[in-house]
């Protein structure tokens, strides 16, 4: 299998422009997963996410979450309030020792291209429960702009038609 191996140390960091999620449930971040897409036999038991989110209560924050698709469980491990007064945010998942399956999650704010100190969550996530690899990735959910409905286009075309008619009527008068 390809990916980050269970006998290695590694750090996965994503640097993002600090965009405030507008709708409840919107967010973005980094993840580690052993889920193998394209195979019905490996649904994954390690899916660790560190992300910026506006949760379903409307609270902005940085969340560490662990999901196990084989058992259908999702566990919120840590949450910190989001400081929106910065230009960037770095999100990091790190395995500092190859002899431990603990992952440290941390974040740092940035301004003017300079990152501040990383702040680590006290709670850790764990990985490598039966497999020898994990894959890193970026994720975003719910951030797509709304797609206009056909009625919106019909109203816009009607408005443009009225503007064209008014312009033509004005030309005939002069």
What is the predicted pLDDT for the residue at 38?
58
Residue 64 has pLDDT above 60, yes or no: yes
Rounded to two decimals, the pTM is 0.77
134 lies in the same domain as 153: no
Domain co-membership, 103 together with 157:
no
pLDDT at 95: 94
Average pLDDT over residues 43-55: 87
Taking only the tens place, the pLDDT of each residue in 119-165 is: 999 999 988 877 788 888 899 988 555 566 666 667 777 777 777 77
Which domain range does residue 171 map to?
Answer: 148-174
Cα angle: 130, vertex 133, 135; to 5 degrees: 125
Q: φ and ψ at 124, to 5 degrees?
A: -115, 155
Q: Are residues 154 and 79 in the same domain?
A: no
Pairing type for strands 125-126 and 102-111 reads antiparallel
Dihedral sign for Cα 64, 69, 16, 141, please.
Answer: negative
CA distance 91 to 27: 13
Question: In this structure, what CATH number is given to the domain that contains residue 133?
Answer: 2.60.120.200
| pLDDT reported for residue 1 | 46
How many domains are there within the chain? 2
DSSP state of 47: E
**172 and 89 housed in the same domain:** no
């Amino acid at each position: 299998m390809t990916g980050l191996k269970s006998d290695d140390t590694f750090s996965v960091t994503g640097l993002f422009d600090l965009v405030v999620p507008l709708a409840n449930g919107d967010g973005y971040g980094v993840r580690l997963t052993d889920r193998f897409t394209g195979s019905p036999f490996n649904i994954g038991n390690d899916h660790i996410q560190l992300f910026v989110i506006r949760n379903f209560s409307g609270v902005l924050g940085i969340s560490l979450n662990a999901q196990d698709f084989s058992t259908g469980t999702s566990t919120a491990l840590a949450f910190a309030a989001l400081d929106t007064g910065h230009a960037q945010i770095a999100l990091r998942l790190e395995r500092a020792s190859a002899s431990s399956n603990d992952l440290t999650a941390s974040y740092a704010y940035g301004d003017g291209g300079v990152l501040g100190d990383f702040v680590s969550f006290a709670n850790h996530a764990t990985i490598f429960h039966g497999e020898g690899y994990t894959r890193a990735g970026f994720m975003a959910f719910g951030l797509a702009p709304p797609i206009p409905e056909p009625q919106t286009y019909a109203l816009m075309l009607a408005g443009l038609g009225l503007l064209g008619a008014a312009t033509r009527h004005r030309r005939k008068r002069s």
